[in-house]
Structure 1
Amino acid sequence: MTDKNPADSNLAEQLSTTEKVALSLRKRHRKEKRFQWAGLMAVGLGFLLVVILISDIVLKARPAFHQHWVKLEVEFRQDWLGVTSSDLAELKKANYRSVLRRSLYGMFPDVKGRRDKRSLFKMISTNAEFTIKQYLLDTPTKLGKTAEVWVRFDDDIDSYLKDDYTPGEAGPRVSKQQAQWLQQFLNKEIVDKRWNSEFFTSGDSREPELAGVRGALTGTLLTMLVTLLLSFPLGVAAAIYLEEFAPKNRWTDIIEVNINNLAAVPSIIFGLLGLAVIINIFGLPRSAPLVGGIVLTLMTLPTIIIASRASIKAVPPSIREAALGLGASKMQTAFGHVLPMAMPGILTGTIIGMAQALGETAPLLMIGMVAFIVDVPAGVTDAATVLPVQIYLWADSPERAFLAKTSAAILVLLSFLLIMNSVAAILRKKFEKN
């Protein structure tokens, strides 16, 4: 038996170790590639889901941005109106519903029965008589004459036209007889599809064809303004005090723990607090942007304080030491050097807090901002609602036309959030350059 060469044995061991290292590296690289691919797939899937969601909202919202109108030949007879002259005070009290009915029935002389007449009249929006009224008030010389006036269709007829049903065939909430009358309107070429600008200029309404987001949008702006004016200075001041001036003792530790705990409190608790304290004890008005802003401030403050403290803490200690070494006071150092350098991070925390407040519904429901409010608020103490609550109300409505209104309101809310974030990003870039 021949003995093994020691040199060959060492070489084999050396090659074996090298191969093990190479194999381990190959496994590691494969794991890294799999992790990278998993990350890319996760990002791609998330982006795809966002695109699908936005596309679905846009497609459902499209019908809300246009409406169908019909041209009626309205005869402003004095006996129908119940007036004797063209005096504006008398015209304001005239019977325009009678004029609308008689003019509409005159276009369909074959319609005789009461039930058929009622079904025909339901095809026109309830706002049509006010449209006719405004037309005569603007042009009182038309009294006693016949004029062509454009009025809206009812939301059921409008939805029927937008869904492209077979002409003359019945559809959801549209009878076959109404579909045939509608076909006569179309044959006469007196139906027009127009851009629905009143969706942005009108308040809420029980009738889908009249409902708009101006009231909710104004209420959102006022509520967010109150929230920003209260939460930003209070949050930044609290963060500066805790980081720069407060002594490190048991009391400040308790405060820090409570701030962290408040950030995790369900938002509806803040609504209950607003209802019990701000409204019942202090007597502030319900459904007002002022109360909504105070409630959202309480909810937003912990987020802003935590983010602001982290940003202030990230400022290098050398900045403080240099300022103090040049003779600046602690107050001058904090507000003249530390705060400007921490401002980009503070603005980021403010964006997060305001975005959270913008989408909140539960606390605002508790203080009455779920009420049906038609008028556009003129100040922070007027009754108002906000976009998230308006979306909630429309989504719960049985009328089909409110589905498109809901999606359109979601787009308005997303646009508002995008504008708010863009302004904050511009300000953040400005502070970073300075």
Structure 2
Amino acid sequence: MTDQRSQAEIVRNSLKRRYRKERRFRLYGLLAISIALASLFTLFADIINKGHTGFIKTTITLDVTLDSGMMYLDDPTDEDQRSMADFMAPIIASLQEHFPTADSASDRRALGSLLGTYAASEVRDLLIDNPDLLNTTQTIELPAHDRVSVYVKHADNPRYTIKLSEQQQRWVDELVEKGVIDTSFNDVLFSRGDSREPANAGVLGAIVGSLLTMLVTLIISFPVGIAAAVYLEEFAPQNKITDFIEVNINNLAAVPSIIFGLLGLAVFIGLFGMPRSVPVVGGLVLALMTLPTIIISSRAAIKSVPPSIREAAEGVGASKMQVVLHHVIPLAMPGMLTGSIIGMAQALGETAPLLLIGMVAFIVDIPDGFFSSATVLPVQIYLWASSSEQGFVELASAGIMVLLTFMMSMNALAIWLRKRLERRW
């Protein structure tokens, strides 16, 4: 009896130790998940905290008298006169109406520096489109200078340096009280390309460039990846050549993306002489990078099709090609689409390979074709983050938010397609 009780005690102690280990293991798992979620929350909170003001623009609305004598302009349609005209003069005169004592040359320069460098262009373009507005008074909304925008939006934030003089700060405060300086949704961010001045910089050019690049990537990588997966899984003989191909596909999936950029630089640009900084070359490079992911995920989807499907089709006289085209591929398509969309989302966030093929150039115009100079969202964010102007800090974070929205949308689409199209056996 004593031996039986001692053995039972040993078993109970052993079970207690096992249960303690299981509880510790679950605790470690929960701790790891909590740390990951906390890190993700911290990252998103920091991005949103820095980037939400990037969706807000600061403008100065003035009643500007477009005096021809003040601008030295008699005919707005004359290009020679426009090149010599002073379009800032009526804007500064309108600001002086709010500050009558600011009549010295230095005060005029200080008032003019409250406006962005594109304020004169706004007046010029207005007169080009409507020459009859000369010598009339118009209410014009003009972009504020980056320093003014930083002061209005971040005056109490110690991370931002206020670069306005005390006099300029008093002027801005007074204009804010009068409602002359106001903030609103930054439509410029989604309607223009890049600019040297934060107030006029937008992501439209980068979005269009990304869409064109992704379209080229999809056209090349999806059919080639699906065809390669079907051949390797259904038709390729099992020999050393096939094994060699499979090993290299798996290895390519782990190759750093910058290697594909070097390949594109050497082959597409160096050997074939294709132009730099165009969506076609960027799409080709990203297609090469995405192919291994699509092939591997598509092969996994094909393997998941039950053998009974193939056997049933062959049993009613279907050929091998008919089995694959009419039964295997339709049933594996949800997994193929999911892998393809995830691969495309990965390609959308790549920067390194595109830097090597020249898509880091400063592009102002919106690309209008596959061979137009363009940049993409990740590269645009990189350019803004490396800029010295404080206004580009919030624009970079806003660009990250736009990029994350696209990537999460693509992943959500992949999940929806899989749930919508998958079949259960």
TM-score > 0.5, shorter chain as reference: yes
Question: 2:135 corresponds to which residue?
Answer: 144
Matched, 1:238 2:220: no
Matched, 1:98 2:89: yes
From 321, 337, 342, the equivalent of 1:331 is 321
From 326, 333, 342, the equivalent of 1:352 is 342
After superposition, the C-alpha distances for 1:112-141 in whole angstroms (9 at most, x for unaligned) are 444443232111111111222344455544
Matched, 1:196 2:150: no
1:60-71 equivalence runs, <5 A: 60-71=50-61
Q: 1:171 to 1:365 in 2, by over 3 A?
A: closer
From 280, 291, 294, the equivalent of 1:304 is 294
Q: 1:338 to 1:352 in 2, by over 3 A?
A: same
Deviation at 1:364, TM superposition (A): 0.2
Equivalent-residue separation in structure 1 for 2:286 and 2:130 (angstroms): 48
**Taking structure 1 as the reference length, what is the TM-score of the superposition?**
0.91
Deviation at 1:143, TM superposition (A): 2.3
Unaligned runs of 5+ in 1: 1-10
Aligned partner letter, 1:62: H
Deviation at 1:349, TM superposition (A): 2.1
**Taking structure 2 as the reference length, what is the TM-score of the superposition?**
0.93
After superposition, the C-alpha distances for 1:47-72 in whole angstroms (9 at most, x for unaligned) are 12211211111111111111222222
From 385, 389, 397, the equivalent of 1:395 is 385
After superposition, the C-alpha distances for 1:176-235 in whole angstroms (9 at most, x for unaligned) are 121122233234332221111111111110101111111111111111111111111111
Equivalent-residue separation in structure 2 for 1:47 and 1:178 (angstroms): 44
Question: 1:73 corresponds to which residue?
Answer: 63
Q: 1:309 to 1:114 in 2, by over 3 A?
A: same
Question: 1:5 corresponds to which residue?
Answer: none
1:34-433 equivalence runs, <5 A: 34-84=24-74, 95-105=86-96, 107-137=98-128, 140-165=131-156, 172-433=162-423
Q: 1:263 to 1:165 in 2, by over 3 A?
A: closer
Equivalent-residue separation in structure 2 for 1:99 and 1:276 (angstroms): 54
For the Cα contact (< 8 Å) 2:76–2:82, is it kept in 1?
Answer: no
Equivalent-residue separation in structure 2 for 1:306 and 1:253 (angstroms): 14
Q: 1:418 to 1:176 in 2, by over 3 A?
A: same
For the Cα contact (< 8 Å) 1:91–1:137, is it kept in 2?
Answer: no
Equivalent-residue separation in structure 2 for 1:110 and 1:240 (angstroms): 79
Aligned partner letter, 1:409: G
SS in 1 for 2:62: strand
Q: 1:99 to 1:61 in 2, by over 3 A?
A: same
**RMSD (CA atoms):** 2.3
Aligned partner letter, 2:225: G
- The structure number with the bigger radius of gyration is 1
Q: 1:150 to 1:28 in 2, by over 3 A?
A: same
Equivalent-residue separation in structure 2 for 1:300 and 1:407 (angstroms): 26
Deviation at 1:417, TM superposition (A): 0.7
SS in 2 for 1:308: helix
Deviation at 1:101, TM superposition (A): 3.7
Aligned partner letter, 1:385: T
Unaligned runs of 5+ in 2: none
Equivalent-residue separation in structure 2 for 1:211 and 1:400 (angstroms): 13
Q: 1:87 to 1:208 in 2, by over 3 A?
A: closer
For the Cα contact (< 8 Å) 2:118–2:143, is it kept in 1?
Answer: yes
SS in 1 for 2:331: helix
For the Cα contact (< 8 Å) 1:92–1:137, is it kept in 2?
Answer: no
Equivalent-residue separation in structure 2 for 1:287 and 1:87 (angstroms): 35
Deviation at 1:42, TM superposition (A): 1.5
